[in-house]
Amino acid sequence: MSTTRTPEKTPRRALPPLMQLTEDAAGRLRGLYGKGEVGRLLRIGVNTKGCSGMSYQMDWVDHKEPSDEEITDKGVTVLIDRRATLFLIGTVMDYKTDKFTSGFTFENPNEKGRCGCGESFHV
């Protein structure tokens, strides 16, 4: 009599969240959603640009497209262009203010490098 062994399945490692927001980013977006961008959503994507090859793109849109991924973090919803999801897995979006500038920043674990001016990155 022969016995056949079924190989044990290795448990899959959980993927990190597609994107997370810091408290500062969520607060800034709440302010924007509540004032000048009422009824709109922020869509985040990646496009080909700059000396390193890719850059983050943010656009206000009136509605979610069927291909958009929707994330909600800290009570704030943003859309992710599906073509950018592989480049953004695990990214943390922040909002920083210093003496001369303010804006959204991205801490992306998939980045392998940035150009000198910081406008573009490569994976």
Q: Given this model, what pLDDT does residue 1 score?
A: 57
Average pLDDT, the chain: 85
Is pLDDT at 123 greater than 60 in this prediction? yes
The span from the CA of 40 to the CA of 43, in Å, is 10
Short-list 22, 32, 59, 27, CA closest to 43: 59
Q: What CATH superfamily is the domain 19-109?
A: HesB-like domain (2.60.300.12)
pTM of this structure:
0.78
Total residues belonging to the chain: 123
Task: Tell me the DSSP string of 44-103.
Answer: EEEEEETTTEEEEEEEEESS--TT-EEEEETTEEEEE-GGGHHHHTTEEEEEEE-SS-EE
Angle, vertex CA 9, rays to CA 6 and CA 11, nearest 5: 165
pLDDT tens, 39-81? 899 999 988 765 657 788 999 999 999 999 999 999 999 999 9
Are 48 and 87 within 8 A, CB to CB?
A: no
Domain residue extents for the chain: 19-109
The predicted structure's pLDDT at residue 59: 95
